[in-house]
Amino acid sequence: FAFLFLFFWMLIALVLQNKVNIDNLFLPLICIFMGCMFVYLFNLMPKIKQNSLLGIRTNATLSSKSVWKKVHRFAAYFGVMCGIAVIILGIISLFIINISNVLFFISIIIVLVSAIVPAIYGEIIYSKERTSNNYIE
């Protein structure tokens, strides 16, 4: 909340001082700040203990502690890389204004992928873990 609050106050201050044309900077700044927020949040993922409120909460991750740890470690690396990619797209769209809408759309797709891929990874790990436990029994 504080991150977005500061971002929008900074943006409003720049617009009110007539130093910035909001049309050209809004989407690139959203991309840059969204990427920074994702880098920060995904960096915290491995530190989250298994619970039903925070983190990647699927049936697979909630049923096994080892799956929870593996998925959140993977999500941290993958999410930080996706966040850096969104920041880079935001910086590129600052300089090439003609394609800022396209780059913003690509950034949204990257954000969605960074949430979906770890969940799929968790299901794959859980199914492998479950089948290996069935052979032991």
Task: Tell me the DSSP string of 44-56.
Answer: TGGGPPS-SSSS-
Q: pLDDT tens for residues 16-64?
A: 666 656 666 778 888 888 899 899 989 988 898 888 888 888 888 888 8
pLDDT above 70: percentage of residues in the chain: 85
Q: In sequence order, which residues have a C-beta less than 8 Å from that of residue 111 and are 6 or more positions away? A: 34, 38, 82, 86
**What pLDDT score does 98 carry?**
82
The helix-helix angle for 65-95 and 100-136 (nearest 10°) equals 170
Q: Tell me which DSSP letter residue 20 carries.
A: S
Q: Are 72 and 117 in contact (CB under 8 A)?
A: no
Of 4-18, 91-105, 120-134, minimum mean pLDDT range: 4-18
